[in-house]
Amino acid sequence: MAERVLLTPSLTLPSRPSPTAKMATITGGAAVRIIPSATRATVSVSSSSRSFFSFSSSSNSVSSLNCLRLSPRISHLFLDQRRSEVRVSSGRFGTVSTPKAFASDPDQLKSAREDIKELLKTKFCHPLLIRLGWHDAGTYNKNIEEFPQRGGANGSLRFEAELKHGANAGLVNALKLLQPIKDKYSGVTYADLFQLAGATAVEEAGGPKIPMKYGRVDVTGPEQCPEEGRLPDAGPPSPADHLRQVFYRMGLNDKEIVALSGAHTLGRSRPDRSGWGKPETKYTKDGPGAPGGQSWTAQWLKFDNSYFKDIKEKKDEDLLVLPTDAALFDDPSFKVYAEKYAEDQEAFFKDYAEAHAKLSNLGAKFDPPEGIVLDGSPNAVGEKFVAANYSSGKE
């Protein structure tokens, strides 16, 4: 069961004079109040859920959202901050116009990426940040054209309405880790921050460079969150069929399903939180971070193709194999790619990078429409999101 969040009091922010300005109504069930300073946050990044996207990691400190306290200073509420900032003065709200034109500021995105790298060095939260990005994007439905009803990478996972979904158990800890960075860089949307964190985590763990683009627009309220049940389960009755049902709905194919599964090379699962895995193994008893859980691989903070090798060999009982993991070598179509990735890490990295970037764009609304590319990589040229471009079915 997901941890609950401490909420801000109900308050309605007045509209700006400009007809184009966007202001948000923050209700008692809407806004997650996160501690605004990293020095005040004591967090646990050890979590796992019953979702297929369930990889977790841990730090030494343990806390729950229930211990968060409201600050008398209300800052960085969940607003579209491209054109306005909320100020608190004498108990009244005012707005300060800013000239920003796009959803996220490129310079702030680059600075936020450096802060995420520093966070990873101390919290070992690579798997948790990847899971956050995936769960925000993984609600996409290619059969729905309208934004944000189609789901996807739109920052909706910051609201309690979505955080409390069973598959998102523990992801509040990822939000607690990233909130100080969001407070520092108000010109970065939550949707971009979630995807930036996931891609950076892969790269910092030794994985491939992800051809990312940014400029994702945030949803503005919890009423725009997707309904529960769009994320894949780890142990369905027919694992291969279930994976196809969920990922085909997103517009992903068999190769992409298998490649994305390879991210389970990172992280571990804890039975007291997810129902899966052992309480402790020889690979997890000493951390890093809080000890315990069962990992898919021996070096569970290193991104490589060990996941496929270890599942294929099935010789170490201390390594986790979920029903959806085993399906990759049991299903004839999945097996072609799983065998290939077990033998060829370079091929895995190439296909994974492409699949991760595609997943991170699903459902997103970009401003500017072509997106923002940070590194000038020829493989990362932004393109306008067109739902019809994401075909379903096998290759």
Q: What is the CA radius of gyration of the chain?
A: 20
Dist. CA 230–CA 227, nearest whole Å: 7
Beta strands in 195-352 (DSSP E): 268-269, 294-295
Q: What DSSP assignment string belongs to 136-193?
A: HHTT--TT--STTTT-SSSSGGGSHHHHTSGGGTTTHHHHHHHHHHHHH-TTS-HHHH
- Residues with Cβ within 8 Å of residue 357, at least 6 apart in sequence: 199, 210, 211, 212, 213, 380
Candidates 126, 135, 264, 356; catalytic one: 135
Could you confirm whether 135 is annotated as catalytic? yes
Contact between 292 and 279 (Cβ < 8 Å): yes
**215: left (phi > 0), else alpha (psi -120 to 50), else beta?**
left
What's the helix, strand, coil split of the chain in %, to 5? Answer: 40, 5, 55
Please identify every residue annotated as catalytic: 135
